[in-house]
Amino acid sequence: MNENNEEVLDSLACINLQMLRASHSVLKSYDDAYRPFGVKATQLPVLNLLAQNGIATTKEIAVQTMTERSVLSRKLQVMQKNEWIVPKYIRNTREKAYSLTEKGQDLVNRTLQTRMEVQAQLMSRLSEDERDLLINLCDKLQAN
């Protein structure tokens, strides 16, 4: 391997590591705040999606949350066990859909203020220009 390749690999590993660290830190902030509600930061985007859409198929949830179907399937099972969501069967298809239960909608409502507080706390570490840049960079990195 030549020196240029090593330099590229080192910089890519650094980007990967930096993104992992940032993601872990953000998720930990939300998880810590959501702990009293009994919900994880990775579950709430699914619940919020269902609160907005009313009903969504497993495929729609996977695409919107950028979650692998196998991982999402386990999340949905836990949320169903916690009685936050219920399966809905769509006619003429094998695709399962889900909607919020009353308990799930209550959880979304109760965690909204906490979500806003955590986001404000995280964003307060950045200047307005940095916040705009962060959002733009995240959009670019997510683009297919």
Per-residue pLDDT of the chain (144 residues; tens, 9 = 90+): 556 666 666 666 678 888 888 999 999 999 999 999 999 999 999 999 999 999 999 999 999 999 998 899 999 999 999 999 999 987 777 788 999 999 999 999 999 999 999 999 999 999 999 999 999 998 888 876
pTM metric for this prediction = 0.82
H or E segment and range at residue 99:
strand 96-100
Number of structural domains in the chain = 1
CATH code of residue 18: 1.10.10.10
59 is in which domain, residue-wise?
3-142
Q: Are 57 and 95 within 8 A, CB to CB?
A: yes
pLDDT of residue 91: 78
Q: Is the dihedral of CA 28, 30, 31, 36 positive or negative?
A: positive
Give the residue from 117, 120, 123 showing the smallest Cα distance to 135.
123
Angle at 113 between CA 112 and CA 114, to 5 degrees: 90
What is the model's pLDDT at position 40?
A: 96
pLDDT attached to residue 8: 61
The predicted structure's pLDDT at residue 62: 94
